[in-house]
Amino acid sequence: MSDESEGSAFGEGYVIPIAGLLSFMFALMAGLTAQRALSGDPTDVAVTVGFAVVAVLALRIRMKAVAARTSDDERAGEE
């Protein structure tokens, strides 16, 4: 007895909050390391910029998941 729903292994309900939390966490870490980056070595700037880039990427993943979920809801409403 198999489920032939062709869905993903991950529930759609988990992607949006987890990506949001990851984005917040990395943005917070970027903010916490900003003071040290501005007054320290150039390598400290790389750490802060890296955290900021990962935060933006997680936010983009969250926005794509929200858009996909919205389009799926619209398709389900049309049927």
Using only C-alpha atoms, what is the Rg of the chain?
18
pLDDT, residue 78, reads 66
Model confidence pLDDT, tens digit, residues 4-28: 555 555 555 788 888 899 999 999 9
Question: Angle at the Cα of 30 (from 39 to 23), degrees rounded to 5?
Answer: 175
State the Cα–Cα distance between residues 52 and 48, nearest whole angstrom: 6
The pTM (predicted TM-score) of the whole model is 0.71
Model confidence pLDDT, tens digit, residues 41-56: 888 889 899 999 999 9
Mean local confidence (pLDDT), 57-63: 92
